[in-house]
């Protein structure tokens, strides 16, 4: 997500320490205590400005949501919105972590997460950058561990090549394809969208969607 770096972001971001968990590694295996309940945990990786996750948190108070976002300027924007929702609507089932997805095995214990969302992940189109795609082998092994058997991954993208690459990888891992759409917005109604998705849909672009279950 392209966003100009916010001035003094390292200081400003600390204002949201009740939403952004800065010592995420120390919470490994203890996320349910952090939420003070035993509800399932759904994780969005590369959350961006957080619209998708905030809307889910509003609609599903019995699910705990965690947004993972690498960029501090981007997560700051997401945390601003989440803080407002916490104050005004008492939304308490949404937390955020400012980490790289490659660290997730240090942050969650095996089976601690029930679902992973990958929404409009950076496509990294050049072959030499394939390992950086969030559906490359290293990342899928991380998700496999934190989700455990029967864990779910839902992915949405506008990028056909990233979609095909990801389908091939899910298939190589032997995961079960539960749902697939080559035009999500024609096939389904009442879709909770992301910031990127709104942009692409307004441009008339197709959105690809897949849901897989870990075997």
121 vs 166, which CB is nearer to ligand SAM?
121
Tell me which of 124, 135, 155, 195 binds ligand SAM, using CB under 6 A: 195
Q: Which residues carry out catalysis?
A: 122
CB of 37 to ligand SAM, least distance (A): 25
| By the rule CB under 6 A, 154 interacts with ligand SAM | no
Question: Which listed residue (151, 194, 212, 214) binds ligand SAM by CB under 6 A?
Answer: 194
83 to 102: interface string for ligand SAM, x by CB under 6 A: -----------------xx-
Q: How far is CA 118 from CA 89, 113, 122, 167, 199, in A?
A: 26, 14, 10, 13, 17
From the list 21, 41, 48, 65, which residue makes contact with ligand SAM (rule: CB under 6 A)? 48
In the list 20, 21, 24, 68, the residue contacting ligand SAM (rule: CB under 6 A) is 68
Distance CA 118, CA 112 (A): 17
CA–CA gap between residue 87 and residue 132 (Å, rounded): 37
Determine the Cα angle at 51 with ends 45 and 55, to 5°.
Answer: 105
> Among residues 69 and 112, whose Cβ is nearest to ligand SAM?
69
Kindly indicate which of the ranges 8-16, 33-41, 44-52, 105-113 contains the residues binding ligand SAM, using the contact rule CB under 6 A: 44-52
Residues that bind ligand SAM (CB under 6 A): 1, 45-48, 68-71, 74, 100-101, 119-122, 194-197
């Amino acid at each position: 997500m392209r966003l100009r770096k916010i001035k003094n972001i390292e200081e400003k971001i600390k204002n949201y320490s009740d939403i952004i968990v800065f010592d995420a590694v120390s919470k490994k295996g203890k996320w349910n205590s952090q939420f003070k309940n035993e509800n399932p945990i759904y994780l969005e990786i590369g959350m961006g400005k957080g619209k998708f996750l905030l809307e889910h948190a509003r609609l599903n108070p019995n699910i705990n949501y965690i947004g993972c976002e690498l960029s501090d300027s981007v997560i700051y924007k997401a945390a601003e919105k989440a803080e407002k929702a916490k104050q005004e609507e008492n939304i308490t089932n949404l937390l955020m972590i400012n980490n790289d997805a490659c660290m997730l095995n240090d942050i969650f214990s095996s089976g601690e997460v029930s679902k992973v969302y990958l929404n409009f992940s950076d496509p990294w189109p050049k072959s030499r950058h394939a390992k950086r795609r969030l559906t490359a082998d290293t990342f899928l092994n991380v998700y496999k561990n934190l989700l455990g058997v029967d864990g779910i991954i839902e992915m949405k993208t506008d990028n056909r090549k990233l979609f095909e690459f990801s389908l091939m990888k899910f298939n190589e891992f032997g995961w079960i394809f539960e749902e697939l759409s080559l035009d999500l917005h024609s096939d389904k109604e009442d879709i909770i969208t992301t910031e990127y998705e709104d942009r692409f849909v307004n441009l008339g672009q197709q959105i690809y969607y897949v849901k897989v279950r870990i075997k």
